[in-house]
Chain A
Amino acid sequence: MAEKITVGHVHMSGCTGCLVSLADNAEGLLTILDKYADLVYGLTLADVRHIPKMDVALVEGSVCIQDKISVQEIKETREKAAVVVAVGGCACYGNITRFGRGGQPNQPQHESYLPVGDLIKVDVYIPGCAPCPQLIRNVCVMAYLLLKGTKDQQELAKKYLAPLMQLAERGTEACGCDLMYDVVNQGLCIGCGSCAAACPVRAITHEYGKPNVNREMCIKCGACYAQCPRSFFNFDVVTEFEAISDLIAGALK
């Protein structure tokens, strides 16, 4: 068996829902930990106090800039990890922590929460609240192939991860408004309904065949835009859906 990669779960200001999503891969997670990845850091899961050197850091949650330890740890994560993956809406875009303004008991002065990408460079985004277990799984498998796979597998992993890396480059702000700004206003919407299906709070309906976002309900997780086939559509990868699905299923056997 080929060498495993090392993975850590870094917990910033999040609800642990992302970690639960990772765990929701059930046997799939056990296969990943068995064959492809050693968990070298993770709250409650690995008995390690300080952030170690690792191949992939899965970061959950946004960073409270009034909390010195969080700020220090996220910087340390960037130093220690070859690849930083922002897992979930909070790490990518702030998500509901965007609405935080402090005042909560114990630490009322903790009022400012920033997406990870506002403090360090993030390599890959997995948006959504909670992020989908299967997308986390796919990214884990692809990260393994990228670092330890054959040349062909590395090429595939690069192509697969490219749009998720481009999402990370795109910025740290997300909102249902993105559907208007970057899809409908750009003359690209085809009214397929992917956005509405992806929305975790059911804030999206369709008016005149196009999405209508209830902005009071939108939590800014970024799922709708990332799911839209007109945010990104990489023919070279999606056209191979059958072979890639087989590959991932095979890897988890």
Chain B
Amino acid sequence: MGTELGKYKLCVSARSTDKDILKKAQDGGIVTQLFKFALEEGIIDGAIVAGQGDEPWRPRPFIATTVEELMTTPGTRYNISPQVSWIKEATRSYGLDKVGIVGTPCQMQAVRKGQLYPVGLRDVDDKIALAIGIFCMENFPYQSIKQLVEDHAGMKLESVKKMDIGKGKFWVYGARGQVVQLPLKVTHKYEQPGCHVCLDYVSNLADVSTGSVGSPDGWSTVFVRTRKGDDIWSKAIGAGCFETKPIEQVKPGLEMVSKLANEKITKNQKTVEERAKFGVNKALRNPYIKP
């Protein structure tokens, strides 16, 4: 295992000790529980989470400043919520001094770039109190999710209870108990194209990153990466927010996370290289070289 998992101080398998959170959560309820704890302790005074948008299963960035508001948002939507678009507004309209934000690896990259190169993010850099990153293989535009659920799975979006990607399949759970699984082969072509040059699977730049991969059902794998992340995580553990198991003792464990991370990075690195000779002596732009 090398650089594919990023820098981290600690890795465990964990789940929330709050029954209510677990009931609504995608897996171990890590994001919701950690934000809840941080809100209650005043470590953050609001969090940019993915709230409910105008259409069913369409997320939009939502600033939760209370636990009640936060509790309306658990779960994964598998389509894009422009989380970073609210990062300056959170410190202005909402007057937050300590901002929490949850996002995908690319959104964590955007946050950290924004802290080091704040071109249009006045007075934001020192107000990011807790950035939680999720594991992400790729994301989907809303229209793609609609197409997958309504055309391929034959269900109305409004009657879907849960979506999940796991065990090599895209799962759609209906409100009446029906379950449709689509092979990932079907979903691949609907992925957001921008994801195909992404070289981060486990949110290397978050304070704390989490995802289901590596842990048993109902649990999440957690990486604690930064000083801030470590501080908050250890306080949360001290307060009894999480049940944890050493990652070495769970199946499928860290090896699985590493395997998927390497798969993503290798595949996308290849895409980056192919873009360099995409046309006839004409390259597509590579953001990792220059603007």
Please name all residues of chain A whose beta carbon is closer than 8 Å to the beta carbon of B142 when the two chains form the complex: 208-209
Could you say which of B85-93, B157-165, B210-218, B231-239 contacts chain A? Answer: B85-93
Determine whether A94 belongs to the interface, using a CB cutoff of 8 Å to chain B.
Answer: no
Residues B63-115 near A (CB distance < 8 A): 79-80, 82-89, 103-104, 106-107, 109-110, 112-115
Please tell me if the beta carbons of B85 and A163 are within 8 angstroms of each other in the complex.
no
Number of A-B contacts (CB under 8 A): 173
Nearest chain B CB to A179's CB is how many angstroms away? 12
Q: How far is the CA of A166 from the CA of B117 in the complex (A)?
A: 14
Q: How far is the CA of A200 from the CA of B120 in the complex (A)?
A: 7
Interface size on B, residues (CB 8 A): 54
Q: How far is the CA of A199 from the CA of B121 in the complex (A)?
A: 9
- A197's partner among B80, B120, B194, B195 (CB-CB below 8 A) is B120
Determine whether B240 belongs to the interface, using a CB cutoff of 8 Å to chain A.
Answer: no
Determine whether B46 belongs to the interface, using a CB cutoff of 8 Å to chain A.
Answer: no
Determine whether B181 belongs to the interface, using a CB cutoff of 8 Å to chain A.
Answer: no
Could you say which of B12-20, B21-29, B248-256, B282-290 contacts chain A? Answer: B282-290
Nearest chain A CB to B192's CB is how many angstroms away? 7
Could you say which of B32-40, B169-177, B197-205 contacts chain A? Answer: B197-205
Residues B237-265 near A (CB distance < 8 A): none
Please tell me if the beta carbons of A232 and B291 are within 8 angstroms of each other in the complex.
yes
Could you say which of A47-55, A70-78, A130-138, A145-153 contacts chain B? Answer: A130-138
- A188's partner among B82, B116, B117, B285 (CB-CB below 8 A) is B285
What 0/1 pattern do residues 104 to 141 of B give for CB contact below 8 A with A?
Answer: 10110110111111111111011000000000000101
Could you say which of A8-16, A58-66, A108-116, A235-243 contacts chain B? Answer: A235-243
Please name all residues of chain A whose beta carbon is closer than 8 Å to the beta carbon of B116 when the two chains form the complex: 138, 160, 237-238, 241, 244-245
Q: How far is the CA of A198 from the CA of B86 in the complex (A)?
A: 10
Nearest chain A CB to B143's CB is how many angstroms away? 6
Please name all residues of chain A whose beta carbon is closer than 8 Å to the beta carbon of B112 when the two chains form the complex: 238, 241
With both beta carbons as reference points, the residue of chain A lying nearest to B89 in the complex is identified as: A197
Nearest chain B CB to A29's CB is how many angstroms away? 15
Nearest chain A CB to B154's CB is how many angstroms away? 23
Determine whether A186 belongs to the interface, using a CB cutoff of 8 Å to chain B.
Answer: yes
Determine whether B226 belongs to the interface, using a CB cutoff of 8 Å to chain A.
Answer: yes
Determine whether A253 belongs to the interface, using a CB cutoff of 8 Å to chain B.
Answer: no
Could you say which of A38-46, A96-104, A223-231 contacts chain B? Answer: A223-231
With both beta carbons as reference points, the residue of chain B lying nearest to A225 in the complex is identified as: B291
Please tell me if the beta carbons of B83 and A192 are within 8 angstroms of each other in the complex.
yes
Please name all residues of chain A whose beta carbon is closer than 8 Å to the beta carbon of B103 when the two chains form the complex: 192
- B119's partner among A132, A190, A235, A245 (CB-CB below 8 A) is A132
Determine whether B227 belongs to the interface, using a CB cutoff of 8 Å to chain A.
Answer: yes
Please tell me if the beta carbons of A230 and B226 are within 8 angstroms of each other in the complex.
no
What 0/1 pattern do residues 125 to 165 of A give for CB contact below 8 A with B?
Answer: 01110111111001000000000000000000000100110
Please tell me if the beta carbons of B285 and A190 are within 8 angstroms of each other in the complex.
no
Q: How far is the CA of A189 from the CA of B85 in the complex (A)?
A: 14
**Which residue numbers of A lie inside 8 Å of B, CB to CB?**
21, 126-128, 130-135, 138, 160, 163-164, 166-167, 170, 182, 186-200, 204, 206, 208-209, 221-235, 237-239, 241-242, 244-245, 249
5 closest Cβ pairs, A-B complex: A198-B120, A193-B85, A193-B82, A223-B120, A196-B85
